[in-house]
Amino acid sequence: MGKKIFGTNYPVSICFIVVNEFCERFSYYGMKALLTLYFLTYLKWDKDLSTAVYHAFSGLCYFTPILGAFIADSWLGKYKTIIYLSIVYVIGHVVKSVGAIPTVGSTELHIALSMSGLILIALGTGGIKPCVAAFGGDQFDEEHTTERQKFFSIFYMSINAGSFLSTIITPILRGDVKCFGGDCYALAFGVPAALMVVALVVFIAGSSLYKRTPPQGNVLWEVCNCIGFALKNRWNKSKHDPPKKHWLDWAEEKYSMRLIQEIKMVLRVLVLYIPLPMFWALFDQVVKRLIFLPLVTSKLNLGLLDFGACYTVILTEEAGKIVPHKIEDVKANNVHIAYQIPQYILITAGEVMFSITGLEFSYSQAPANMKSVLQAGWLLTVAFGNVIVLIVAEGAGLEQWIEFLLFACLLLGVCIIFSVMAHFYTYVDPEEMEKLYLENSIELNKTGKSTKM
C-alpha cells in the first residue's frame, strides 16, 4: 500500500503526477499559443498554410495517444512509456527552439527544424497523455472511488491552470523580450522546453512512490485478432449455426470469455464517444477567438475592442513616444464585448462537466489492461473535433456568425443523440468483473473443468 497524504485516502504519488501534468500542459499550450504567429511572421507563410499546419499539428497531438496507449498497455507499461516519450518530447522542444534562432542556418533549415520539432512534440505529448491520466487513476486503492473521482477534477484543474498561465506568459515573452534584433521566438519556445524538463524531473522524483501495474502482454494485438476471428467466423458459420446474442460471441471457440467481455466493454464506450467530437469542434472555435482578442488589445493598448468592428492602427512617433491612432474600417455594432462573458462562462461550465466526467468515465469503464487505450479513445474525440474544424470552419469559408450558428445547431443535435445513447448505457464495474472471473476460474480449477475464462 502506497503512502497517503496525511489523514486522507489520497496517495502522495498523485502530487507528482498533478505537478507533472501542470508543467507539461504549460509547455504544450505555451508553445501552441505562438505557433500561428510564428508561421506568419517568422517563417513568412500565408494565413491559409499557417492555419492548416496549426490544425494538422493539433489533430496529430490527439491521434498519437493511440500509439502511446499501445506501447504502455502492451509493452513498456505506463511508467516507462511516460519517461521515454517525455524525453522525445523534450528533444522536440529543443529542435523547435533551435529552429527559431535567426542566426542558425537558412529559412529552409528553420522550416525543417520546426517541422521535425513539431512531429517529435506531437509524438511526445500525445504519447504520454493517455498514460499520465490512467497512471494517476492507478494510484488509488480499489475501494477509494470517490477520491479517484476527485483526483480527476484536480488533474483537470492542473491541465487548465498550466494552459491558462502559459497562454498569457509565452506571448508576452515573445513580444516584450527582444533578441537577435526582433521578437524573441527562441526564448518563447525555450521556456516551454524548460517546463517540459521540469515535468520530467518531477515525474522521476516520484518514482519510489508510484504503484505500477505491469503490462499484460500484447493486449491490443490480441483484441484485433479476436475481432477479426469473430467477424470471419460469423461470416462463415452464421448461415447454418444458431444465432448468437452478440457478434463478438462468434469468437468464443478460440478466445476466452474474459477477453470477449473486455472487448465488448471497450467497444460500447467507444461507440458512445462517436458524437462527442462536435463538442471539441465548437470549443476549439470559440477558444481560438478568445485567445487572440486580449493579446491584440494589451499589445496596442487600445482598450476593449468593440463587437464586430475592424480597425487599422497607425503608429506615429510624437515627442519620442510611439502613439497609436485607431481608424475604424468596419463600424462596431454597439454591442460591448462584455456581453460575451455569460457565453464564455456557460461554455467553461460545460467544458468542466464534460471533460472531468469524460476522463473519469474512460478510466472507470475500462478493463485493467486497457486503461490507457480508453483514455486514448477519449482523446480521439478531441482529434476528430480538430478535423471537423479544419474541414468545416477553415475549408468551407463561411461567415463567422453562420459558422458559429452551424456549430451550435450541430452540437444541439449531437447532445440529443448522445443523451439517448447514454440513457441505454449500463455501467460496469471492472473490479467486480475481475473478482467474478477470479472466483469462476478458481471454481473451475476445483471441479477440473476446462472452459476458457
Ligand X SMILES: NCC(=O)N[C@@H](CCC(=O)O)C(=O)O
Residues in touch with ligand X (CB under 6 A): 159-160, 351, 355, 358-359, 382
Helix or strand (DSSP H, E) at 264: helix 257-273
Q: Cα dihedral angle (51, 52, 57, 62), rounded to 10 degrees?
A: 100
> What letter does residue 11 receive in the DSSP assignment?
B
> For residues 81 and 375, what is the distance between their CA atoms, to the nearest angstrom?
15
Q: Which residue number has the CB closest to ligand X?
A: 355
Give the nearer residue to ligand X in terms of CB position, either 295 or 347. 347
Q: Are 92 and 121 in contact (CB under 8 A)?
A: yes
By beta-carbon proximity to ligand X, the closer residue of 218 and 357 is 357
Q: 145 vs 160, which CB is nearer to ligand X?
A: 160
Q: How far is the CB of 149 from ligand X (least distance, A)?
A: 15
- Host H or E run for residue 324: strand 321-330
* Closest listed residue to residue 12, CA positions, set 213, 214, 212, 211: 211
Query: Is the separation of the CB atoms in 94 and 193 below 8 Å?
Result: yes
Cite the DSSP H helix spans in 301-429: 341-364, 371-388, 396, 400-423
Q: Measured from the CB of residue 348, what is the shortest distance to ligand X in angstroms?
A: 9
Is there a contact between 421 and 225 (Cβ–Cβ < 8 Å)? no
Closest approach of ligand X to the CB of residue 186, in Å? 25
Displacement of CA 351 from its chain's centroid (Å): 13
Tell me how far, at minimum, the Cβ of 93 lies from ligand X, in Å. Answer: 17
From residue 263, alpha-carbon distances to 50, 81, 117, 238, 307 in Å are 40, 23, 36, 21, 50
Q: Which CB sits closer to ligand X, 99 or 192?
A: 192
Given the complex with ligand X, which of 183 and 284 has the nearer CB atom? 284
> What would the grid cell of residue 102 be?
535567426
Q: Least distance from C-beta 204 to ligand X, angstroms?
A: 21
Give the residue with the Cβ less far from ligand X, 157 or 309: 157
- Nearest distance from C-beta of residue 381 to ligand X, angstroms: 8
Q: In the complex, what is the shortest distance from the CB of residue 159 to ligand X, in angstroms, rounded to a whole number? A: 4
Nearer to ligand X (CB atom), residue 14 or residue 43: 14
Shortest reach from residue 451's CB to ligand X, in Å:
40
Q: Could you tell me the smallest distance in angstroms from the CB atom of residue 359 to ligand X?
A: 6
Q: Which of 377/430 has CB closer to ligand X?
A: 377
List, as one string, the DSSP characters of 199-261: HHHHHHHTGGG---PPP-SSHHHHHHHHHHHHHHHHHHHTTTSPP-SSGGGGGTTTS-HHHHH
Comparing CB distances to ligand X, the nearer of 30 and 99 is: 30
Q: Determine the Cα–Cα distance for residues 269 and 246; give it in Å rounded to an integer.
A: 16
416 Cβ contact partners less than 8 Å away, ≥ 6 residues apart: none
DSSP single-letter state for residue 4: B
